[in-house]
Structure 1
Amino acid sequence: MKKLILSGLMAVTALASTMNAQIQKGNWLVGSSLVTSNFGLNTGGGYNIALQPKGAYFIKDNVAVGGYVNLGISKVTNGSPTRFDYAVGGLGRYYLSPGEKGVDNLLNHGRWFFEGNVGIGGSSVENGNSTTGLDFGAGPGYSYFITPNIGLEGLVKYNGVTGFGNEGLTSTLTFNVGFSIYLPTSKAKQVISEVK
């Protein structure tokens, strides 16, 4: 029984040390969010789907900077015009350490983070309304590590586009669900060399 308890404690300690390893300086984050903020369940209901690939490099422990692309399509109702959303820009993430500022992780296999982005983006609707300009957003998220290098993520985010066009400012509050892969620099170099 003592051996079983000792083995369990060693496994938990090893997992906790690998959780810190993926968000250390020099590592890479590659992932995507699938945004689903509205699916109409009634007859003629609408939908809102967007794909947001992103990549970032950890410039220091718990801090990553990188870029993102946003491509989306939506309809309010079945008969309404289709809306296309697009954006490209830079993003930053800050991961909270366990116990930092009184915030503990709800689960032992995850990490809270804050994400912000700024770039160029817009939206275009079939009836002619459009907005193009500054794309920005910010919000909190949580990454649950299903393996030491793969995180399942949830992110609540305010997104806005302000600039030129028929609409001066468009803004939304979205709930994003996606995944991220955390790669040490050595693994990233190996993947790149295999692709070549």
Structure 2
Amino acid sequence: MKKIFFGAVVLAAGLFSTANAQIQEGNWMVGGNLVGADFGLNKGGGYNFAIQPKGAYFIKDNVAVGGYVDLGFSGAKDAATTFKYNVGALGRYYVSPGEAGVDNLLNHGRWFFEGNVGVGGSSISKGGASSNGLNFGFGPGYSYFITPNIGLEGLVKYDANAGFGNVGYTHRITFGVGFQIYLPTSQAKRIANEAK
């Protein structure tokens, strides 16, 4: 009975510390968000789909920098198609429990703030408006660690493009849900070597 109790205590301690271990200096974060998907089933119904692959390296505890790509398209039968693209750098800051009066909802997760800057734009077929130039965005999110190395995330973000084209400035609020894989540098190197 003592062995079972001791094993349960060790397991619980390991689970409660997972939100700290993944966001330490030297770790990698790789994954992406499914920003939105909508496929209309009615007559004249349209479609909307976007993905955001991203990767980052933790330069110090709770702080990651990296890159992102944002690709999306939408349209409807016999209507114009819109293509959206963005690529650039991103940064994340994970809030420590109790910091700035923010507490985590669950012991296995962390709040974070994400910001990005890069180039991007959107274009609409059939002579529609287009915008190309500076892409930037920022917003809060929450990562819940479903395993020691995988986080399920939700992210609300203001996303904007400022630049050239028929429309000089476009902006929107996005809500993304996705997964991130958190790997120590040693595991990332091993995976890269196995892929060769």
TM-score (structure 1 length as normaliser): 0.92
Report matched runs for 1:20-169 at 5 Å.
20-36=20-36, 40=40, 43-75=43-75, 77-128=76-127, 129-169=129-169
Looking at structure 1, the residues matched to 6 and 99 of structure 2 have their Cα atoms a distance apart, in angstroms, of 28
Looking at structure 2, the residues matched to 37 and 116 of structure 1 have their Cα atoms a distance apart, in angstroms, of 23
Q: Displacement, 1:79?
A: 4.1
Looking at structure 2, the residues matched to 63 and 3 of structure 1 have their Cα atoms a distance apart, in angstroms, of 38
Q: Displacement, 1:28?
A: 0.2
Q: Displacement, 1:42?
A: 5.3
Q: Displacement, 1:2?
A: 7.1
Looking at structure 1, the residues matched to 47 and 5 of structure 2 have their Cα atoms a distance apart, in angstroms, of 50
What letter corresponds to residue 143 of structure 2 in structure 1? S
Q: Displacement, 1:102?
A: 1.4
**Percentage of pairs with the same residue:** 68
User: Which residue is 2:189 aligned to?
Assistant: 189
Contact 2:37 2:50 in 1 (8 A): no
Looking at structure 1, the residues matched to 52 and 74 of structure 2 have their Cα atoms a distance apart, in angstroms, of 15
How many residues end up aligned between the 2 structures? 195
Q: Displacement, 1:118?
A: 0.3
Provide structure 1 residue ranges, at least 5 long, that are not aligned to the other structure: none
Contact 1:130 1:165 in 2 (8 A): yes
Looking at structure 2, the residues matched to 38 and 190 of structure 1 have their Cα atoms a distance apart, in angstroms, of 38
TM-score (structure 2 length as normaliser): 0.92
Contact 1:37 1:175 in 2 (8 A): no
Contact 2:74 2:82 in 1 (8 A): yes
Contact 1:117 1:138 in 2 (8 A): yes
Contact 1:98 1:105 in 2 (8 A): yes
